[in-house]
Amino acid sequence: QVKLVESGGGPVQTGGSLRLSCATSGLPVSTNYLAWFRQAPEKEREGVATIYIPHKVPYYADSVKGRFAISHDSAESTLYLQMSNLNADDTGMYYCAAGRQYGSKGLITSPATIGAWGQGTQVTVST
């Protein structure tokens, strides 16, 4: 059974930092990427960062480039998202996801190739 369990969200002030974690288990052997998505109230879910495994090549949305860092600890089967210099636009529910992308690699923005989602962890950035 595939399980993705996020943790690490919470309230943070503008300019602060948070590290999100996603513990994974039961992933199909065909999985070749892990990703973070977020969804703000009344907005569509958007892809934030993707990392391809096992080569660990990361891709980021322009809005988070230089502030967020995605990483994967294969020994611990855990995906991370280190977020710094947070602002109000970063507020939302953050979800981790796993899937397989065929062909060219890049930031995953569509749910079409996602095979599993976590339940989400809330990040709230306030002034």
pLDDT in tens, 55-93: 889 999 999 999 999 999 999 999 999 999 999 999 999
**Number of residues in the chain:** 127
Residue 87 — left, alpha, or beta (φ > 0 → left; ψ -120 to 50 → alpha)? Answer: beta
Secondary structure of residue 120 in the 3-state scheme: coil
Q: pLDDT above 90 covers what percent of the chain?
A: 91
Q: What burial class does residue 50 get, using C-beta atoms within 10 Å of its C-beta: 0-12 exposed, 13-18 middle, 19+ buried?
A: buried
pLDDT-derived band at 127 (thresholds 50, 70, 90) equals confident
- Return mean pLDDT, the chain: 96
The pLDDT value given to residue 104: 85
